[in-house]
């Protein structure tokens, strides 16, 4: 059971493509479909823009972000970075402009104000995020009794969460939801334990597993919600096109999250963390890049996949972000300017290349999307260099959100090019 979510994002995409079974604006994506129907899909014309697909992609983005922000907060706490902890905790669970606020807004839009208010209280209850904080504090102090109590509180919360969700949607069996939350607890606890042990390689392999699990959970919640409110959502959440969009959403957002972890570690002089994050981001195997390439290959074929791998890994992309970070660290404006120029040149090449393999992707529009990726991630790195933890966290959420938009466009264009695969 632990291995299933480890590469969920790429697996979900690959399955969809090969014909097998499978604030932030993310809340708007997930929630707006409750009151505004997306264009209806038919059996003969598959679509990744149905209401159900939009809901699933939105929940995927929000729930995976929940895991990553939590891990950033616990990691900051364990290395004594109080400002970082406060900033990520606010981005995770603040009263407004936070991941929790966005999740609550999505639930409210689908289920109504009363359920939304109750959900907000449940999600913010002491047995959930505060219990993870308590666990982190306990292992930092080597207090086994306090750590055991925090875990017990988390497991009790899992049971309450399952019972509560079942009470508002019978399509969500209480025991199954409880097991899903327990897996969330187990996988995220593994991340925190690895952070405490200073095992950065395990931190990132465990984080990718925890992140992937929440993508699975998002699909379950979306499917049950669509089943309960079929009049509010066109399409189905488990359609192949919806699975493609959710998978690309997870992968492309993870790309930004891992990149920012690598740059933050580099600027902080934490080289073991930088190397582990960089490997998780762009390693030859078992990495975000490898998973994205596998997804592209499964749709467009081995030849295009190989070319895409070379393009994605080319010096104008991830290495250029590394070069920019190194230039900032050295206060070398000339080198920093060159790195930005390389990134912008890459954006143009990327746009032209994607258009050459899929005419539904206009070269100029793709170029602009990559430029926005460069701009938003550069803002994160600049904030990291300035030591502005609050701006780092808020800029990170913006950069990650942009990749949801990019995933939506890529999924739509791909389904239009290969409707027979969806």
**pLDDT tens digits along 334-349:** 999 999 999 999 999 9
Of the listed ranges 37-41, 86-90, 213-217, 372-376, the one predicted with least confidence: 37-41
Could you tell me if 227 and 173 are in contact, meaning their C-beta atoms sit under 8 angstroms apart? no
Q: Which residues contact 184 (CB under 8 A, 6 or more apart)?
A: 67, 158, 210, 213, 214, 217
DSSP type of residue 421: G
Asked if residues 342 and 382 have their Cβ atoms less than 8 Å apart, the reply is no
pLDDT of residue 43: 55
Statement: residue 17 has pLDDT above 70: no
> Is residue 287 within 8 Å of 280, Cβ to Cβ?
yes
- Per-residue pLDDT at 320 exceeds 50: yes
pLDDT beyond 60 at 40 = no
Average pLDDT over residues 294-301: 96
Residue 1: the pLDDT is 34
pLDDT value, residue 284: 97
Is a pLDDT exceeding 90 seen at residue 87?
Answer: yes
pLDDT tens per residue, range 181-237: 999 999 999 999 999 999 999 999 999 999 999 999 999 999 999 999 999 999 999
What pLDDT, on the 0 to 100 scale, is given for residue 34?
41
Residue 15: what pLDDT? 36
Prediction pTM value: 0.90
pLDDT band at 24 (very low <50, low <70, confident <90, very high): very low
pLDDT at site 291:
98
pLDDT at 315 over 90: yes
In the chain, pLDDT over 70 holds for what percent of residues? 90
State the average pLDDT for the chain: 92
pLDDT band at 42 (very low <50, low <70, confident <90, very high): very low
Q: What is the arithmetic mean of pLDDT over 55-79?
A: 98
Is the per-residue pLDDT at 179 higher than 70?
Answer: yes
pLDDT for position 31: 45
Distance CA 352, CA 364 (A): 8
24 phi and psi angles, rounded to 5 deg? -90, 150
pLDDT of residue 385: 98
Contacts of 3-6 spanning 24+ positions with Cβ under 8 A: 4/216, 5/183, 5/187, 5/209, 5/210, 5/212, 5/213, 5/215, 5/216, 6/205, 6/208, 6/209, 6/212
pLDDT of residue 44: 59
Q: Would you say 41 and 47 are in contact if contact means Cβ atoms under 8 Å apart?
A: yes
Q: Which two tokens stand for residue 139?
A: 């292992």
Checking if the pLDDT of 11 tops 60, the result is: no
Residue 316 Cα distances to 45, 282, 297, 312, angstroms: 37, 14, 21, 9
Please state which of the ranges 34-43, 122-131, 173-182 shows the lowest mean pLDDT: 34-43
Q: Which of 132, 217, 140 is nearest to 183 (CA)?
A: 217
pLDDT, position 26: 53
């Amino acid at each position: 059971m632990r291995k299933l979510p480890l590469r969920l994002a790429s697996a979900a995409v690959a399955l969809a493509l090969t014909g097998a079974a499978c604030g932030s604006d993310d809340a708007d994506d997930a929630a707006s479909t409750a009151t505004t129907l997306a264009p209806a899909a038919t059996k003969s014309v598959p679509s990744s823009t149905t209401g159900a697909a939009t809901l699933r992609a939105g929940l995927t983005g929000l729930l995976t972000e929940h895991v990553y922000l939590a891990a950033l907060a616990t990691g900051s706490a364990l290395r004594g970075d109080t400002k970082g902890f406060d900033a990520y905790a606010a981005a995770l669970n603040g009263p407004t402009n936070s991941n929790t606020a966005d999740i609550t807004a999505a639930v409210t839009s689908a289920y109504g104000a009363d359920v939304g208010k109750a959900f907000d209280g449940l999600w913010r209850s002491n047995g959930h995020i505060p219990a993870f904080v308590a666990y982190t504090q306990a292992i930092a102090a080597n207090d086994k009794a306090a750590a055991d109590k925090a875990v017990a509180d988390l497991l009790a919360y899992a049971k309450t969460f399952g019972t509560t969700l079942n009470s508002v949607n019978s399509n969500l069996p209480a025991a199954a939801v409880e097991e899903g939350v327990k897996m969330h607890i187990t996988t995220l606890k593994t991340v925190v334990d690895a952070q405490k042990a200073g095992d950065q390689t395990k931190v990132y392999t465990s984080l990718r597993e925890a992140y992937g699990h929440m993508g699975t959970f998002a699909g379950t919640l979306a499917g049950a919600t669509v089943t309960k409110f079929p009049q509010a959502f066109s399409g189905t959440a488990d359609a192949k096109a919806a699975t493609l969009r959710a998978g690309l959403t997870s992968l492309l957002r993870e790309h930004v999250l891992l990149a920012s972890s690598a740059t933050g570690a580099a600027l902080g002089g934490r080289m073991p963390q930088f190397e582990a994050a960089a490997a998780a981001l762009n390693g030859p195997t078992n990495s975000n890049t490898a998973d994205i390439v596998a997804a592209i290959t499964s749709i467009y074929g081995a030849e295009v996949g190989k070319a895409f791998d070379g393009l994605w890994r080319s010096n104008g992309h991830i290495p250029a972000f590394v070069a920019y970070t190194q230039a900032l660290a050295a206060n070398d404006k000339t080198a920093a300017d060159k790195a930005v120029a390389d990134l912008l040149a890459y954006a143009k090449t990327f746009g032209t290349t994607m258009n050459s393999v899929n005419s539904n992707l206009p070269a100029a529009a793709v170029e602009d999307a990559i430029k926005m990726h460069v701009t938003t991630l550069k803002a994160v790195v600049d904030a990291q260099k300035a030591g502005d933890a609050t701006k780092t966290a808020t800029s990170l959420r913006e950069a990650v959100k942009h990749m949801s938009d990019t995933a939506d466009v890529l999924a739509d264009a791909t389904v239009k090019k290969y409707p027979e695969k969806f």
